[in-house]
Structure 1
Amino acid sequence: MDYRNLFDGIDDKIKLSNGVLLTPINFDNGATTPPLKSVTQIIYDNIKNYGPIARGVGFKGEYCTTMFNKARDIILDFFCVLDNDDYTVIYTKSDTEGLNALANVLIQDKDDMVLTTRMEHHANDLPFRRVAKMVYVEVDVLGRINIDDIEEELIKANGKIKVVTITGASNVTGYITPIHDIARLAHKYGAVIIVDGAQLIAHREVNLAGNSKDEEIDFLTFSAHKAYAPFGSGAIVGKKDYLNEEDPFLSGGGCVAGVFDERLIWTAVPEKYEAGTQNFFGAIAMAKALSDLKNIGFQNIEMHEKLLKDYIINSMKSIKNVIMYGDVDYTDDRIGVIPFNIKNRDYSEVSIKMATENAISLRSGKFCAHTYVYRLLGVSDSDAYRDVISGEYFYGMIRASLGLYNTKDEADIFLNELDQISTSRNSRRVRKHIGRIRF
């Protein structure tokens, strides 16, 4: 099925430097997705009704407050926990903000331990480095994690690991992690689980409750701009009990029931964690996008994206000089994220050439997952450090990441261009000698 008619802006032609007009191809959905038309429409329909949320009295304020709170129920329903009173929704501006908030709220002692993996985006690593002792689970040669390694580390820590935080799907290889299996392990050894859902929620159904209490996901974070509502919004969906016990990450107006000379009383969750003026349009746009995805059906979404992903991967395997990363033979546990390089070609130059000559948007670099990319490239930590210190940035990849609206015709254009670049004559990229690096 062709889903392109559901999206805004994807067929607007752009002018290349040579004057040619082309319909752009966005294979960079892992970074940001275009909006659904329904999302654009809900913004347009509500722009004239914009008013204060939970402040003041008046039609616009009451209307926006009602819509704002209704969006929470839509999000809870999307994650299959609408009728589960344990869960709430806290609005954030991004997945990164949500993970930083959880790191600061859930970790109370610098000696507490947090388990994560070498597969993570920086957003699910760096916030926890600041507040806790880190335990990292390694990836194998194909970039996968083994949950037996997670259990081994949990046993070894003897109850000192307080949080297990893990990606739902990798933004580099697209691997989907068995989040409910990991939740069982985390709970078995006395830890809570956080799932970074940024790359997962637009591509697979997520039931936070799982099939049992042990399988419940305690917290999930995500950004709406990776799920067809790019308006600077995100959320934490999580357990109220943990959040009621701690002070919020941000403070100010709207998060307190009373403020006195020497003390204060916090409001209840979720408002306790939503200080300041909230992003009304972001919340309703996010809820609308998630509602539409649910209505389309994740079985349909998964089928469409799997066909396109498998077609591209299998075609790339036969193109000369293309280097692929991750498992390209068994791909059922991968969403449509495809990292690659071209032998003896600069990764940034290839992506620039694709964009400027064919209007194909890709991502190049290390995708805010440096330690993972270095492992896939077989680069040591010391060599990676020297590369950055030198300013050379020799190591990197190119990434194609697919969305619901992408088509086989677009894939063919991309594959044809990839074949031309990979087989054309090119001088080998040679590392320049820039003198001694001082450390």
Structure 2
Amino acid sequence: MNTSSMGKNYKKLIVGIDTKIPLKNGKEVTAINFDNAATTPPFVSVLNSINKFASLYSSSHRGMGYKSQFSTYLYEDGRKVVLEFLNAKEGSTVIYGNNTTDAINKLCNNLYAYNSKYNPKRNIILSTFMEHHSDDLPWRDKFEVKYVKVDDNYRLSLEDLKEKLIEYNDRVALVAVTGASNVTGYTNPIHYIASLAHEYNTKILVDGAQLVPHCSFSMQGSSPMEDIDFVVFSAHKMYAPFGTGVLVGPKDFFNSVAPDYKGGGTIDFVSHKYVKWAEAPERDEAGSPNIMGVVALSTSIKTLERLGMDKISQWEEILTNYTLTRIKNIPDIEIYIDPNDTKNHISIIPFNIKGMSHSMTSKILSYEFGISTRDGCFCAHPYVTKILDLSPEEVLYEIEHNGGEKPGMVRLSFGLYNSLEEIDALVIALNTIVRHKDYYLRLYKNDDFSFFPI
């Protein structure tokens, strides 16, 4: 498949790609979505698999009817699909949850129980300045969190990571690091970080929510020292709705402590005085499972594998570089990554228009041009305010003097189905907004931006 046809062929795989949406002036246009880092639209293959399975959908585990047995098979087979997709090492297991946030909270609870029982002095989590709140806030309740700094280019400082591993040494319970930032798109050398963590006898968690859908990912490195211990990611960011998150880690670890969330499905036997927990992963999946979500995820993974993750990564790199080349010279556009350095980067571009708030820019793109972006701090406030060079005091001042609006950015995030033609439309829109900035500022100054229904 040559590069000129990639986007068009990928578009055919996506549901709702030709959906018309209204503009503020009443006209309708084909929607353009550059907000894929938040949620991707579903694959056609995913909805087809759900529709096909729906007539056989039933309860899973312990039901003896054909539909129940078939539902159980698909649910359990999904674990194999995930493990193979991630090239997980032997002895790993897959625990399903609601999303990445849910998965990290579960790991936090299990790790706290494990360390309290076996190694109570390991009470420090090394998180980083790059993290999404979901890889920061859960740890604060049960551990002492230390944050690895970023360098002047807002990439992770490996030197600071080493220094903190040396400083806290045998107190570090886990190195929790994003595979790719949801703000800048910068990726981290996760296998090298794993080798550092293991050198100091601790483990590593990779938040793969942004990384796994965009490029090849392997939990196994070139040596056991480089292996990833835990990884989490979400189906809804890889073209599979229905609410499934994944936590992958050593089965022995999860078997070593009682489940954090107890109830039906987590036990082998119960009396009023005795509980025998089921083996992992069942012990960590309380209640009726989300079979539809697992079917969707499995189909999505198979579709991505058929397309080839390396080809997807190559196409999204083309989209990113094409966009940066086209917008970096537009007057008043401030780009918060180096447009000339997109190595170790996924398809995310944060920017602002000088003299215009991030929320106004994002809403004008939507209301006037039908282009979806995201604006704000992207659930990564410390990282965004660091990039914007704002102190906590300055942030509070900005909020108090801007009607409660937090400082932030506009984020473009591409999916495999986006096209060069869509980027051309974005460039026209941004040039129009910049050229007529005063007009748009007056037009939208007192607009409440209320949603207008289709």
TM over 0.5: yes
386-395 or 154-163, which moves further after superposition? Answer: 386-395
Cα distance in structure 2, aligned partners of 1:104 and 1:295: 36
Give the deviation of 1:428 after TM superposition.
11
Q: Identify if the C-alpha distance between structure 1 residues 387 and 102 changes in structure 2 by more than 3 Å, giving closer, same or farther.
A: farther
Give the letter aligned to residue 96 of structure 2: Y
> Are residue 281 (structure 1) and residue 281 (structure 2) matched?
no
Look up the match of 1:107. Answer: 112
Give the letter aligned to residue 291 of structure 1: K
Look up the match of 1:372. Answer: 383
Question: Is the Cα contact below 8 Å between 2:333 and 2:352 reproduced in 1?
Answer: yes
Give the deviation of 1:383 after TM superposition.
2.1
Give the letter aligned to residue 173 of structure 2: K
Alignment of 1:179-258 (within 5 A): 179-258=190-269
Look up the match of 1:27. Answer: 34
- Identity across aligned pairs (percent)? 40
Q: Deviations over 1:107-141 (max 9, x none)?
A: 24486000010100000000001110011011123
Cα distance in structure 1, aligned partners of 2:399 and 2:55: 49
From 414, 430, 433, the equivalent of 2:426 is 414
Cα distance in structure 1, aligned partners of 2:216 and 2:248: 15
Cα distance in structure 2, aligned partners of 1:389 and 1:86: 52
Cα distance in structure 1, aligned partners of 2:137 and 2:396: 17
Question: Is the Cα contact below 8 Å between 1:27 and 1:402 reproduced in 2?
Answer: yes
Q: 3-state SS of the aligned residue for 1:426?
A: helix
Aligned-residue CA RMSD (Å): 1.8
Alignment of 1:127-166 (within 5 A): 127-166=138-177
Cα distance in structure 2, aligned partners of 1:319 and 1:52: 56
Q: Deviations over 1:217-244 (max 9, x none)?
A: 1110011000010221111111112111
Q: Deviations over 1:350-394 (max 9, x none)?
A: 111111111100001110000100000000022224445775224
Q: 3-state SS of the aligned residue for 2:350?
A: strand
12-21 or 366-375, which moves further after superposition? Answer: 12-21
Look up the match of 2:414. Answer: 402
TM-score normalised to the size of structure 2?
0.91
Look up the match of 1:54. Answer: 61
Look up the match of 1:436. Answer: none
Give the letter aligned to residue 64 of structure 1: S
Look up the match of 1:299. Answer: 310
Cα distance in structure 2, aligned partners of 1:415 and 1:163: 43
Q: Name stretches of at least 5 consecutive residues in structure 2 with no aligned partner.
A: 1-5, 442-454
Question: Is the Cα contact below 8 Å between 1:321 and 1:423 reproduced in 2?
Answer: no
Q: 3-state SS of the aligned residue for 2:206?
A: strand
Cα distance in structure 1, aligned partners of 2:193 and 2:314: 25
Question: Is the Cα contact below 8 Å between 1:14 and 1:24 reproduced in 2?
Answer: yes
Cα distance in structure 1, aligned partners of 2:169 and 2:176: 17
Alignment of 1:346-361 (within 5 A): 346-361=357-372
Q: Deviations over 1:398-432 (max 9, x none)?
A: 00000000000000001110111123242898xxx
Look up the match of 1:432. Answer: none
Cα distance in structure 1, aligned partners of 2:43 and 2:287: 28
Give the deviation of 1:100 after TM superposition.
0.5
Give the deviation of 1:146 after TM superposition.
1.8
Cα distance in structure 1, aligned partners of 2:434 and 2:248: 44
Q: Deviations over 1:256-287 (max 9, x none)?
A: 00112223111001101001011001001001
Look up the match of 2:447. Answer: none
Give the deviation of 1:249 after TM superposition.
2.1
Cα distance in structure 2, aligned partners of 1:190 and 1:113: 13
Q: 3-state SS of the aligned residue for 2:385?
A: helix
Give the letter aligned to residue 254 of structure 2: L
Give the deviation of 1:158 after TM superposition.
2.3
Q: Deviations over 1:53-79 (max 9, x none)?
A: 103220110010001111111111111
Cα distance in structure 1, aligned partners of 2:437 and 2:359: 17
Question: Is the Cα contact below 8 Å between 1:92 and 1:236 reproduced in 2?
Answer: yes
348-357 or 391-400, which moves further after superposition? Answer: 391-400
Give the deviation of 1:24 after TM superposition.
0.4
Question: Is the Cα contact below 8 Å between 1:162 and 1:190 reproduced in 2?
Answer: no
Q: 3-state SS of the aligned residue for 2:412?
A: strand
Look up the match of 2:86. Answer: 79
Cα distance in structure 1, aligned partners of 2:153 and 2:405: 23
> Are residue 98 (structure 1) and residue 100 (structure 2) matched?
no
Q: Identify if the C-alpha distance between structure 1 residues 100 and 394 changes in structure 2 by more than 3 Å, giving closer, same or farther.
A: closer
Give the letter aligned to residue 296 of structure 2: A
Q: 3-state SS of the aligned residue for 2:423?
A: helix
Q: How many residues align?
A: 429
Post-superposition, which runs of at least 4 consecutive aligned residues in structure 1 deviate over 3 A? Answer: 108-111, 385-391
Cα distance in structure 1, aligned partners of 2:51 and 2:280: 30
403-412 or 414-423, which moves further after superposition? Answer: 414-423
Give the letter aligned to residue 158 of structure 1: N
Question: Is the Cα contact below 8 Å between 2:24 and 2:367 reproduced in 1?
Answer: yes
From 94, 111, 131, the equivalent of 1:89 is 94
Q: 3-state SS of the aligned residue for 1:91?
A: strand
Cα distance in structure 2, aligned partners of 1:388 and 1:162: 36
Question: Is the Cα contact below 8 Å between 2:399 and 2:407 reproduced in 1?
Answer: no
Look up the match of 1:67. Answer: 74
Question: Is the Cα contact below 8 Å between 2:433 and 2:440 reproduced in 1?
Answer: no
TM-score normalised to the size of structure 1?
0.94
Cα distance in structure 2, aligned partners of 1:295 and 1:215: 27
Cα distance in structure 2, aligned partners of 1:204 and 1:224: 15
Q: 3-state SS of the aligned residue for 1:214?
A: helix
Cα distance in structure 2, aligned partners of 1:386 and 1:280: 48
Cα distance in structure 2, aligned partners of 1:427 and 1:393: 22
Question: Is the Cα contact below 8 Å between 1:71 and 1:283 reproduced in 2?
Answer: yes
Q: 3-state SS of the aligned residue for 2:55?
A: helix
Q: Name stretches of at least 5 consecutive residues in structure 1 with no aligned partner.
A: 430-439
Cα distance in structure 1, aligned partners of 2:142 and 2:325: 43
